[in-house]
Each structure stands twice: as structure tokens, then as C-alpha cells.
Amino acid sequence: MRLRRRSASPEPAAAANAAAGARYGSVQERLKGDAQETARQRIVIASMIFVMAFVAVGLRMSYVSLLRDGAEPTERVAARGGSIQAERADIVDRNGVVLATSVPVMSAFVNPRLLLDPQDAARKIVGALPELKYDDVREKLEGDKTFVWIKRGLSPREQDKVNRLGIPGLEFQAEERRIYPQGTAAAHVLGYASVDNAGLAGVERFFDQQLQSGETLQLAIDLRLQRMVEREIAAAVKKFSAIGATAIVMDATNGEVLAMASLPTFDPNSTKTLTNEALFNRATLGVYEQGSTFKIFNTAMALDTGKVTLSSVFDATSPIKIDRFTINDDHAQRRPLTVPELFKFSSNIASAKMAVAMGTETQRAFFDKIGFLKPLTTQLTELAAPLYPRHWMTINTMTIAFGHGISVTPLHLATGAAAVVNGGMLYSPSLVKRNAASDPGRRIIQAKTSVMMRQLLRLNVVDGTGKKADVPGYEVGGKTGTAEKAARGGYRQKALISSFAGMFPMNDPKFVIVVSLDEPKGIAETAGYATAGMVAAPSVKTLIEEIASLYGILPGDLKEGLPPIEIASTPVPAQVVPPQFVPANARHRAQEPRKALPAGPGPNQTAAAPAAGVRRVAAE
């Protein structure tokens, strides 16, 4: 009999399913568990994405920060898309104080084609920005352009007012605006930038490419000293009713310009102040006859040749008559003068004879050597060329000896004076802070000649025309220079350029200070005189006192002084240099000065007058 396999009973399978259900839950429960697991996975993925985004943002911020500290500029993005001009780098003074910087601003623009009512929009805009003119705004809005500026560089308050107008088609764009935190301070050095952040004057223009590339510019200017200089010449202009003034403080050891000011001035933050007269930098564009300050260079030239010594004598007994003109002395001694006396009494007659004794070619070559026959080389584009005779004849040699018939800028004067007193090395003036090897200098006179000139300059302050510049304990030296301003066919009487070139300490010169007033008026305190010794020398004294205070210079800090120069009351003319000047009946005519064009406009700029206009001039 065949046995059949008995089929499995369904009860064990059901039992297994029941056991599985007890272990994993019901179908609904398992589906719910799967959803939770999916949610957890999504949270983990989202968290990872968030962390990655956070890390990316952090890395980007670090990258941008490094770029900002390096040479690469950062870039701002316009509100409506697209990039705008890269950030312009800061300008700082020698101590790191910010003089010019860029800040983000919003500018308003309109697409006139989106406006529903241009006239109503114009009225609303002018109501929010009252400095705008309704007719100008309406004309812009009624045009067929798709983009017109309403106002650039809005203040936050102005932006809020415009934004609240709710005018369709009126939008904003992110830009940068150049600001000058120090206001008018060092305005002629800094210059200014356009609304598009392009340099238009001063170092802003000269270093435009460097600043746009994001590289910070450090100047030689000391803001503290700059403010002192500006305050002092502003007070002098007010006191003597001058029409303008300029002042320069230079480091005699390397040519750095520590301060430079010109009045009238302007505020680079305000376009309303940017007039031609205010923009005119008298220190670098003002070409003036410098009067007797040129005796510094004429005397240095003569002493450096070795043909003239401090004991040499020049006859100043009588005025020099040449053709129909006469050269006189304001402090006439009517006797032969030694070189120290020539300097002390600022004798035009003796200086003219000394120049002629040296020779016309020698004088011209020397003035070319010290850079007085060409524009200076410095970090500005506003530089004027000197004016001098096309044909340098004997009469020109005589008048140039005391600063007439040749015109240079005050910066020329400061640069040349620094070279004469610093040991004989000429440095090009620098508005940028220098390193030790940036300009080795060029020798123009011997070191021993420089020592003699420092003695003469000290003598002039102690016992000459520069007494009002003396500061006890600080070994101040200097020279006055007063010249009538040249005019067509001659000179304008009582329209003076009164200048003083001061230096200290004369035993080891560090600072050169030039102060020049344009058309000062005499007052009761000066007995009606407006000469340099009366109006410019006191300002130099004040600045020397402030420099000593600012840098903590004490009288005891100075080196041992130079030996004094002995001046005989009756000089012995044993070494009289032959006065080889042109006799009175000579037919020489003065030559017209070279017609060199200045580098910029100047309402008060003077030209070198014809040397034939020699007349009785201020000996200072």
C-alpha cells in the first residue's frame, strides 16, 4: 500500500506571520517607520548642505579680506546686477591717519519709459531733494532715454526720502564715494576725485592707477603739522589783509614735504568750493620773483667758486646806474661791504657786483644746476615752469642776483634752500614718504660752502633783516625777500610778494620753512611796512615754536652751535673784488623773459618782469 505525503498545515505559516508582526509591527506601523527614516536622512543631508554653505561663505569672507589687505581690489555689485567700479584705496599721512577714503553709497536713477506721469514724478523728486531744480529734473524724465541719473551719492536720509516716493522706474544703484575726513586739510596736496572715483587733481590724479588698483598711498605730510601751518598762514592773511598765501615745511635731509598749504583753499568734499582761484596751488603753480631770498643762491654760487671768501669786499658806496635805470639799497650803508655785511644788510648793489664778478655764464649755469630753470619733479601734475631771460645778459645777471628778472615757485625756493644748508645735497621734493635709498641726492655745492652759508643765514636772523624769526635756543637762520609784483611794462607798486625762507637748527639743519604772503598790507604794528621781515618772518617763528613742541625738540637737544662770524665796523678793502659791471653809458637793453607757460591757471600768478624795469626795490 502506497503512503501519501501529508501537506503542511497552514497553521504554522500563520503563526510565523503573527510572530513577525509582533516583532516588526503592523504594515501601517512599518510604513510610518520608513517615513521617519526618510525624514531623518533628509535632515542629515540638509544639515550637511548648510554646513558646506557656511564653510563656503567663511572661506569667501577670508578670501575677500586677504584681497583687501593685498594688491587686488574688492568689487561691489550694482543693485540691478552687473559690477561697478572697484574700491579706491586710502590715502594716509606719514603716521597712518586717513586723509582720503571711499565709502559705499546709493545713487538714484530713473528709466523714464516706465514713468506714468513725468511731471508729477519730477515734483515729488524735487520735494525729496530740494537742491535739485524742477525744470532740470522734468526735462530728464520727459526724455526718451532708458537711464538717467537723478542724484549720485545720496545720504541715508536722502535715500529713505526718495525710496518712500514709490515712483515706478525710480531705483537705486550701489556705488562708492570718495570722502576726505579731514575737510580742507592738505587739499592742494590731496586734490580730489570725480563722482566716478577718478582722480582729477593732486596726488589723487598723479597716483590714480595705483589707487584704483587698491594700493594704499602713504604721504610724507604730517597732518598735525599741516593743520598748524594752515592755521598760521590763515591768521597772517587776515592780519595783513593779504589776497593769498602759501607755506611749505620741508625735511632738509631728504626733501620730504612735511606740510604744504595754499590760500585760498577748497573742501574736496564739496563741489561748490572748487573754483579756479581756490584750486590754484600757489606753492607749485605760483611763479613769482622771490626778491632777496635769491641772495642765498647768488652768495652760495660765489663762495663755492673759491674766488670769493667771507672776507671779500664789494663796494656799495653808490647806486649802480645803468642806462636809464638805477639799482639802490634800502638799507644803504654807503661804503664797501664784506660778504657777511652784504648778507646782513641785504645789499642789492654789492650782490649785483658780486654776480658780475663771477660772470654771467657762471651764474646761469649755477641756477640751472639747482633746478631753477625747469619745472620741479614731484608727485603732482600741477607744476609750473620758471620764467627767466631768453638772453641772459649782464643786466640780467645783476638783477637776478637780488631776485628780480627771474620767477620760480615757492617750492623751488624751499628745495634750493634745503640744498644750500644741508651740506650741499639737492633732493627732489617728495610728497610721498621716502625710504632711506629712494633718492640719494645730487651735490650742488661743497660741504664747506654749506657751512659758510649757514653762518650767514644765522647772522641774518640774529642781527639782520630776519630778527623777527628768531627763537632763542633753536639756532634759527633765514633770509627775507620782498618783491613788487611784475606787471606789463614794469611793476605794481605796493603789490608785494613778501617771503621768508627759514631753517633750523643751523648747526645741523633739519627743517626748512618758507612762508609767502601775496599783497600784504602794512599795519600800525609794523609801522605801515609790509616787507617780509615784518609780515612773513613772524609766521616762521611761530611755526618753529610749534614744530619744536610737536616733535619734543628741546634747546639742549641741539648740537654745539656754529662759530659766529666777526663783522668789522670798518672793513678793510684789501680783497675788494673788481666791480666789472656795465658802465652807465652802455647801450644794453633788458631782454624779455622766456615765455614759458605755467602748468595751470592762476588769477594771481606773476611773470618775470623785464629786467629793464630795475628800480628802487625792497632790499629784503
Hey, CA dihedral for 219, 223, 225, 230, is it positive or negative? positive
Hey, CA dihedral for 392, 396, 400, 403, is it positive or negative? negative
Res. 329: pLDDT tops 60? yes
pLDDT band for 424, please (50, 70, 90 cuts): very high
286 and 409 co-located in one domain: yes
486 and 527 co-located in one domain: yes
Higher pLDDT, 593 or 478: 478
Q: How many beta carbons lie within 10 A of that of residue 76, not counting itself?
A: 16
Res. 596: pLDDT tops 90? no
pLDDT value, residue 111: 92
148 and 243 co-located in one domain: no
Percent of the chain residues past pLDDT 70, beyond the cut: 77
Q: pLDDT averaged over the chain? A: 83
Higher pLDDT, 139 or 78: 139
pLDDT value, residue 620: 67
pLDDT value, residue 615: 39
206 and 303 co-located in one domain: no
Which residues lie below 8 Å from residue 75, measured CB to CB, with a gap of 6+?
83, 84, 86, 87
Does a structural domain hold residue 245? yes
At residue 445, the 3 state secondary structure works out as: coil
600 and 506 co-located in one domain: yes
Contact at 8 Å (CB) between 277 and 200?
no
pLDDT value, residue 151: 92
Catalytic residue list contains 292: yes
Does a structural domain hold residue 407? yes
Range of the domain at 451: 239-262+280-613
Does a structural domain hold residue 351? yes
Does a structural domain hold residue 1? no
159 and 298 co-located in one domain: no
> Which regions of 69-156 does DSSP assign to beta strands (E)?
91-92, 98-110, 148-154
321 and 457 co-located in one domain: yes
Place of cell 650782490: 351
Does a structural domain hold residue 152? yes
467 and 568 co-located in one domain: yes
253 and 186 co-located in one domain: no
Of 102, 107, 262, 292, which residue is the catalytic one? Answer: 292
Query: Is it true that the peptide bond before 264 is cis, omega within 30 degrees of 0?
Result: yes
Take residue 357 and report the three cell numbers written for it. 664778478
Question: What residues pair up with 413 in beta bridges, in sequence order?
Answer: none
Does a structural domain hold residue 526? yes
Distances (CA, A) of 196 to 68, 86, 102, 212, 266: 20, 10, 11, 11, 20
Res. 474: pLDDT tops 70? yes
Instruction: Tell me the pLDDT tens digit for each residue of 502-541.
Output: 999 998 899 999 999 999 999 999 999 999 999 999 999 9
Instruction: Tell me the pLDDT tens digit for each residue of 232-252.
Output: 999 999 999 999 999 999 999
Res. 594: pLDDT tops 60? no
pLDDT band for 492, please (50, 70, 90 cuts): confident
CATH number, domain containing residue 132: 3.90.1310.10
296 and 403 co-located in one domain: yes
Does a structural domain hold residue 516? yes
Instruction: Tell me the pLDDT tens digit for each residue of 344-401.
Output: 999 999 999 999 999 999 999 999 999 999 999 999 999 999 999 999 999 999 999 9
Instruction: Tell me the pLDDT tens digit for each residue of 188-201.
Output: 999 999 988 899 99
Take residue 422 and report the three cell numbers written for it. 644741508
Amino acid letter for position 349: I
pLDDT value, residue 53: 64
174 and 252 co-located in one domain: no
Does a structural domain hold residue 408? yes
198 and 254 co-located in one domain: no
Q: Flag the least confident range among 167-176, 236-245, 291-300, 382-391.
A: 167-176
Domain count, the chain: 2
Parallel, antiparallel or unpaired: strands 91-92 and 217-218: parallel
CATH number, domain containing residue 467: 3.40.710.10
pLDDT value, residue 233: 98
d(CA 259, CA 512): 11
Q: Flag the least confident range among 123-127, 453-457, 607-611.
A: 607-611
Res. 133: pLDDT tops 60? yes
Dihedrals φ, ψ of 249, to 5°?
-120, 125
Mean pLDDT of 590-607: 36
